[in-house]
Amino acid sequence: MAKATSTAPEERQRDAERSQAGILAAARDEFAEYGLAGARMDRIAERAGLNKRLIYYYFEDKERLFASVLEQAYKDIRQQERELHLLDLEPVQAVRRLVEFTWHYYLDHPEFITLLNSANLHRGRHLPDIERAQALNSTLVDTLAEVLERGRREGLFRGGVDPVQLYVSIAGIAYFYLSNNHTLSAIFGRDLLSPKARNERLSHMSDVILGYLLRS
């Protein structure tokens, strides 16, 4: 009650968590659009509707802000991957679902792609320390390994498939198409993002991955 008379925590401006989250979102968009070097702290503050000084107050400097954005981006995709529940599906369906998820995730989160590119341009200098990074990930590869093993046992999939290699291939087939969308569109003179083109790409991706995995 007493609270209601003043501004409630969710509404007031002086809310550290909300400010930090706002900065992170603004920074994510800015870094995604311009890369690390091209991003402007001024624009991030403006996007967040907050004082520039506050960014330094919470995130120290541009590099650490970038690292925080990256970590958040990893957390988000890992979280969604975890919600796939691949082990509840038949192996073929599970692989198809992973391919579809990967495709749609990159399609819906174009910022993730450019953030990753920036992170790698800077040689991974901004990655969270190894343990945290691995902790974020291991689940999916383990799950994929289990899916592959089940499929193999059922006589559906070929054996000897390294889940890491496969995961990288699935991601790569989706990522490259979207990441290099502009150059590819120019070179091939096609709009690669038209609804039709998207469908065709997803279809092709599934064909490649399952064509490779399935025993004839």
Q: Which does 169 bind (CB under 5 to 8 A by kind): DNA, its own copies, none?
A: its own copies
Neighbours of 109 (CB within 10 A): 17
Residue 13 or residue 165: which is nearer to DNA going by CB? 13
125 binds DNA per the rule CB under 7 A: no
- C-alpha–C-alpha distance, residues 187 and 101, integer Å: 27
| Cβ atoms of residues 65 and 27 within 8 Å | yes
65 binds its own copies per the rule CB under 8 A: no
> In the bound complex, what is the minimum distance in angstroms from residue 10's beta carbon to its own copies?
26
41 binds DNA per the rule CB under 7 A: yes
Please tell me what DSSP assigns to residue 158.
-
Say how far residue 24 (Cα) sits from the centre of its chain: 15
Q: Which contacts (CB < 8 Å, 24+ apart) does range 146-152 have?
A: 146/87, 147/86, 147/87, 147/91, 147/94, 147/95, 147/98, 148/91, 148/213, 150/91, 151/91, 151/92, 151/95, 151/213
**Tokens coding 43:** 């624009």
Residue 42 or residue 191: which is nearer to DNA going by CB? 42
80 binds its own copies per the rule CB under 8 A: no
> In the bound complex, what is the minimum distance in angstroms from residue 189's beta carbon to its own copies?
6
200 binds its own copies per the rule CB under 8 A: yes
- Could you list the residues that contact DNA (CB under 7 A)? 6-7, 12-16, 19, 39-42, 50-54, 56-57, 61-63
Which residues contribute to the site for its own copies (CB under 8 A)?
A: 34-38, 114, 116-121, 123-124, 127, 130, 133-134, 136-137, 141, 158, 162, 164-166, 168-169, 171-177, 179-190, 200-201, 204-205, 207-209, 211-213, 215-216
